[in-house]
Amino acid sequence: MTISQGFIIFILLQFGGEPVASASCDFTGQCIYNLKVHHCNQTTNTKRESDPSGNCGCGDLEIVQGETYNLQSSLSTLEIQFSALVQRYQATKASILQKQQLLENAISENKALESQIRNVDYLLNKTTESVTRQTNNWSNEKIRLQTQTSKSIKDLQTCKAVLTAAKTDNGQSITDTSSNKPVSKTFCGFEDSKRCGYVAESGSHWTWQSSMYSSTTGPKQDHTYGTPNGHYMMLNSQGAASSSKTTHTSRIDSPQFTTSSAGYCIKFWYNLHGQDIKFLKVYAKVNGGLGYPVFTKTGNVDSDWHQAQISLDNEYTSHPFQIVFESATNAYYTNHYSSGSYRHIYSLDKSNTAIDDVTVFNTSCSHLSQSSHGSHVRQNGSDTSYYSFHAKPLSWNEAKTACRREDSQSSLVSINSQGEQDYLVRTIKNDEDLANIASLGFYTGGNDEKTEHNFVWTDNGAPVTFTNWHPGQPNNVGGDQDCLLLQYPDTNFEWGDVGCSEKHPYICEYHN
């Protein structure tokens, strides 16, 4: 039997065959094997195969049987090994299933942890939002308290300023040196549209004017504020002109003043600018009659404001009286036809006359004391300056008017040197009442309302040459900071620009 034959038997055994072999030896030289194969309930098959060598030994069958038994033994061994493998497989599978269960448990635990982490993140975010919100609330509350505290401090300072003003300003009363009695006064800067009760007579052409009406006649600006927003009274020559070459006279009357045995002192500012100016006259109108003028100025002077002073004795003031300002113009016009229409061509119209800041005292000028000029005096060579410090906060325009009301030659302070700055700082620091309101600052006469960033001293229109600005100033925040303030007390009142509507204490200056 060959190896291939044994292999066939092995294959048959693998498919469940139980070999039953028998052989008979014939003289034909052939071996016949009867193999009964039990596989899939098949019947016995007989295979005949000749031995090509011609030799057929009956011992071959025993060899095949032995090999079959060996194969069966090997098969049993394989079955045992296979069973062991199955057991190992099952054990491995069980281990894998166990580990898979552990993995699933771990995944489940991980999902639970992730859920917990999300919950913690959510709670943490909510806590963070709450803390942020609470922090913002605390911050807003802090700002509110700071604002309220600042307002309370400012209100307290204002209250102190008012109390200080009541004390200091009462000490600035004017007295009659002949009788040591208080003097009353009336002041008109023509800033109110009611014009303090001054009324133009019928047919007159006195107009309420602001800014510069013309570069060839009249003032550059008013005298009270010294800015384009100030007002004054002006005889408008073109308004008075007619087609006839005649003189047009205009008058404006004051309210009526009561009697005074001590007489009256009248101070006012006038402007006579223009090549065609005729005159300005002032009358004391008693019982409806003008009488002779008590003041006369004729001709073109210049574009500046000038002060006039009139003293009336009791011949005038023993009766109620009015002050009358009179001016005239020879202006006229001719009609010129052009482009289908007529227009006026004016002549002799450079004759606008103006008045401003009229102050009337119920005593003679010679009897006015110098106390109205302020209690602080500074001598600088031949120049003497009087300063009055006012604690009551006012707007810049109100402060400017208050200084004019104090004295017709008084104005908000102009600071022209480091020496003058140092003098003002020392005065403030050495006065307890003024030091208490130092944080509010003090208004000066500096202003750049006419031309931004070109500050001028409004008492005379001179440019600000000496400067003491705080770093970063002036900055014109909001586009409306036009007034110069002694603003920073911690740095010796360095300057800053502020809105003119803000209310601050102020300093008036009178030059002798």
Print pLDDT tens along the chain (512 aa).
444 444 444 444 454 444 444 444 444 445 555 555 444 444 444 444 545 555 555 566 677 777 888 888 888 888 888 888 888 888 888 888 888 888 888 898 888 888 888 888 888 888 888 888 888 888 888 888 877 877 776 666 666 655 555 554 433 445 555 556 678 889 999 999 999 999 999 889 999 999 899 999 999 999 999 999 999 999 999 999 999 999 999 999 999 999 999 999 999 999 999 999 999 999 999 999 999 999 999 999 999 999 999 999 999 999 999 999 999 999 999 999 888 888 999 999 999 999 999 999 999 998 886 555 567 999 888 888 999 999 999 999 999 999 998 887 899 999 999 999 999 999 999 998 899 999 999 999 999 999 999 999 999 899 999 999 999 999 999 999 999 999 999 999 999 999 999 999 999 998 76
∠ CA(80), CA(85), CA(90), 5° rounding? 125
Q: What is the pLDDT of residue 12?
A: 46
Which residues on neighbouring strands pair with residue 359, listed in sequence order? 187, 267
Distance separating alpha carbons of residues 456 and 411, to the nearest angstrom: 13
Token reading at 332: 């006229």
Q: Please confirm whether the linkage preceding 393 is cis (ω < 30° from 0).
A: no
Token reading at 75: 């098969």
C-alpha distance across the termini of the chain, in Å: 157
The torsion angles phi and psi of 374, rounded to 5 degrees, stand at 110, 160
Distance separating alpha carbons of residues 47 and 30, to the nearest angstrom: 12
Token reading at 379: 């001598």
Q: What is the pLDDT of residue 40?
A: 45
* Contact between 369 and 177 (Cβ < 8 Å): yes
Token reading at 450: 């006419």
The torsion angles phi and psi of 155, rounded to 5 degrees, stand at -65, -40
* Contact between 32 and 25 (Cβ < 8 Å): no
Fold classification of 176-368 (topology level) = Jelly Rolls (2.60.120)
Helix (H) or strand (E) holding 235: strand 231-235
Which DSSP string do the residues of 394-432 spell out, in sequence order? Answer: E-HHHHHHHHHHH-TTEEE----SHHHHHHHHHHHHT-H
Domain with CATH 3.10.100.10 in the chain: 369-512
* Contact between 191 and 231 (Cβ < 8 Å): yes
pLDDT digit string, tens, across residues 20-58:
444 444 444 455 555 554 444 444 444 445 455 555 555
pLDDT digit string, tens, across residues 195-206:
999 999 988 999
Going by C-alpha positions, the residue among 338, 492, 487 that lies closest to residue 418 is 492
Distance separating alpha carbons of residues 170 and 159, to the nearest angstrom: 16
Distance separating alpha carbons of residues 119 and 116, to the nearest angstrom: 5
Distance separating alpha carbons of residues 497 and 505, to the nearest angstrom: 15
Q: Is 127 helix (H, G, I), strand (E, B) or coil?
A: helix
Range 369-512 has CATH code 3.40.1190.20: no
Q: What is the pLDDT of residue 22?
A: 45
Distance separating alpha carbons of residues 198 and 189, to the nearest angstrom: 11
Q: What is the pLDDT of residue 407?
A: 83
Distance separating alpha carbons of residues 91 and 112, to the nearest angstrom: 31
The torsion angles phi and psi of 4, rounded to 5 degrees, stand at -65, -35
Q: What is the pLDDT of residue 182?
A: 78
Distance separating alpha carbons of residues 457 and 403, to the nearest angstrom: 14
Please state whether the predicted TM-score (pTM) of the whole model is above 0.75: no
* Contact between 264 and 368 (Cβ < 8 Å): no
Distances (CA, A) of 376 to 311, 371, 388, 423, 486: 27, 10, 6, 10, 18
Angle between the N-to-C axes of helices 3-14 and 59-169, in degrees from 0 to 180, rounded to the nearest 10: 60
Helix (H) or strand (E) holding 281: strand 279-286
Q: Is 276 helix (H, G, I), strand (E, B) or coil?
A: coil
* Contact between 236 and 204 (Cβ < 8 Å): no
User: In terms of DSSP H, where are the helices of 36-174?
Assistant: 59-169
Report DSSP state, residue 28: T
Q: What is the pLDDT of residue 34?
A: 52
Which DSSP string do the residues of 313-377 spell out, in sequence order? Answer: -HHHHTS-EEEEEEEEE--EEEEEEETTEEEEEEES----EEEEEEEEESS-GGGB-GGGG-SEE
Question: In this structure, which amino acid lies at residue 471?
Answer: P
Domain with CATH 2.60.120.200 in the chain: 176-368
Going by C-alpha positions, the residue among 171, 181, 195, 173 that lies closest to residue 364 is 181
- The phi-psi region of residue 366 (left if phi > 0; otherwise alpha if psi is between -120 and 50; otherwise beta) is alpha
* Contact between 374 and 421 (Cβ < 8 Å): no
